[in-house]
Amino acid sequence: MVIIMDGKSLAEEIKGGIRARAMAIKEETAIKPTLATLLVGDDSASNTYVNGKCRDCEEVGIDFVLHQLSASISERELLDLIDELNCDPKVNGIVVQYPLPHHIDRKKIMASIHPQKDVDGLHPYNVGKLWLGEYDLDSALLPCTPKGILRLLDRYELKLEGKLVVIINRSDLVGKPLSKLLLDRNATVVICHSKTPELDGLARSADVLVSAVGRRPDFAVSEEMVKEGAVVVDVGMSYIGGKLQGDVDFDRVKEKASYITRVPGGIGPMTRAMLLQNVLIAAEIQGGQFE
């Protein structure tokens, strides 16, 4: 019988801990954990994500400050605002909602956020710490989705050492950081992408298959791509007829997998919970609790 890895309930449990920790930080220090979010333009998906972040923060007692900015803001003006927030002791975490208008260089923006306020874990300093192995899962600012995936696998006590993990995604947000976290658990990791030949065969060899493509119906993980007894993690998000769908053909693949995540209810809520956790980690780093 397949086990469905329930990211939603684990995320709720983690949020309970975050709520208690946020309260303790407020009582024990002068810090009121605060997340500043910068939304440029009026992309409707970005609006939805930002509203979700606001609700999540409210739920756990983190202050949420939204900076809603015109799509015509210059790169310089955006950098100046980030600089202001970097210097503001009341702000613990900064998120810039992507995508950004084409005239703004995303990498420049990412690198302008103070590494100690980089709650998306994408600043070159934090990326470097991850790749040098100088991190601790509980106290480092790591990218939220890979960290959420690892937490979920850990909850189900899935052994990663010696396992072949195939990740279909090579982005800075998902595939690359996840591959490093898994290497550090002594897994053997293969990263696939749109130019990978024989992808189906590689996927079929995986003990653990992670798919994060988000291009349904052009790309889907079918049951032929999954080994009997594999662990399947679905990160992909596609909206088809207004309905959210993952990469994986869930109904068929669940007949072959030993463990599987659902979309929605799997990695999405874990990612959101990890962002909240990163805000507290950032607050604690700034308060001197962590190095």
Ligand X SMILES: NC(=O)c1ccc[n+]([C@@H]2O[C@H](COP(=O)([O-])OP(=O)(O)OC[C@H]3O[C@@H](n4cnc5c(N)ncnc54)[C@H](OP(=O)(O)O)[C@@H]3O)[C@@H](O)[C@H]2O)c1
Q: Known catalytic residues?
A: 53, 97, 120
d(CA 117, CA 14): 21
Question: Measured from the CB of residue 54, what is the shortest distance to ligand X in angstroms?
Answer: 16
Q: What is residue 223's DSSP assignment?
A: G
- Which residue minimizes CB distance to ligand X? 214
CB contact at 8 A, 2 and 257: yes
Shortest separation between residue 121's beta carbon and ligand X, angstroms:
12
The reply on whether position 275 binds ligand X by CB under 6 A is no
The minimum distance between CB 264 and ligand X, in angstroms, equals 8
> Residue 82's closest CA among 56, 108, 54, 113?
113
Choice from 113, 209, 213, 248 touching ligand X (CB under 6 A): 213
State which residue, 121 or 175, has the beta carbon closest to ligand X.
Answer: 175
Closer by beta carbon to ligand X, 141 or else 192? 192
User: By C-beta, is 93 or 236 nearer to ligand X?
Assistant: 236
**Residue 35 within binding range of ligand X, rule CB under 6 A:** no
The verdict on 219 binding ligand X (CB under 6 A) reads yes
Binding mask 163-202 for ligand X (x = CB under 6 A): -----xxxx-xxx----------------xxxx---x---
Q: Which of 9, 243, 280, 25 is nearest to 144 (CA)?
A: 280
| 81 versus 142: smaller Cβ distance to ligand X | 142
d(CA 146, CA 135): 14
Phi, psi of 159 (to 5 degrees): -75, 130
- How many of the chain's residues bind ligand X (CB under 6 A)? 24
Residue 107 found at the interface with ligand X (CB under 6 A): no
Q: How far is the CB of 144 from ligand X (least distance, A)?
A: 7
Quick one: which of 92, 112, 126, 145 contacts ligand X (CB under 6 A)? 145
Largest interatomic CA distance in the chain: 56
Three-state DSSP state, 271: helix
Within 8 A by CB and 6+ apart from 35, the residues are 53, 57, 62, 63, 64, 65, 91, 92, 93, 94, 95, 119, 275, 279
Task: For residue 142, state whether it binds ligand X (rule: CB under 6 A).
Answer: no
Q: Going by C-beta distance under 8 Å and a sequence separation of 6 or more, which residues neighbour residue 14?
A: 151, 270, 273, 277
Identity of residue 168: I
> In angstroms, what is the minimal distance from the CB of 173 to ligand X?
5
Q: For the chain, how are helix, strand and coil distributed in percent, rounded to 5?
A: 45, 20, 40
Q: Which of 93, 146, 236, 265 is close enough to bind ligand X by CB under 6 A?
A: 236
Q: State the residues that interact with ligand X by CB under 6 A.
A: 145, 168-171, 173-175, 192-195, 199, 212-215, 219, 235-237, 267-268, 271
